[in-house]
Amino acid sequence: MENIPKNIGDYKLPVDYTKLNGKERKKVRNQYVRLQYNKCMYCGGDLSIDPPTRITDLLIDWSYFPPGFLNNPIQLQHDHSNGMTEGAVHAYCNAVLWQYLRR
């Protein structure tokens, strides 16, 4: 029996984020964006626009994050305990996931 890919794209998800280079991370992120119908995995908001104010009202200590963190508005969330990708999120949601939920 042929292995039927269940995802739209090149990757069988999830994948180990720590083993991907920058180009591959971008492709995986874009695959999640398509699978999620352009909605954020965390807040459910449209990834083409800013996250809702219930997210952006949360205070973030930006010293935890590299400079320019918000310059990439759509990011690939991964589970920091095992490295596996989880989905595409707003940059701000990624910061919330890390700071408040340690994900």
List the one residue out of 87, 66, 9 whose CA is nearest residue 95.
66
Binding of residue 40 to Zn ion (CB under 5 A)? yes
Binding of residue 43 to Zn ion (CB under 5 A)? yes
Query: Shortest Cβ distance from residue 54 to Zn ion (Å)?
Result: 10
CA dist 37 and 4 (Å) reads 21
Binding of residue 51 to Zn ion (CB under 5 A)? yes
Where do the DSSP E strands lie in 1-103?
74-78, 85-90
Binding of residue 88 to Zn ion (CB under 5 A)? no
Q: Which residues bind Zn ion (CB under 5 A)?
A: 40, 42-43, 45, 51, 90, 93
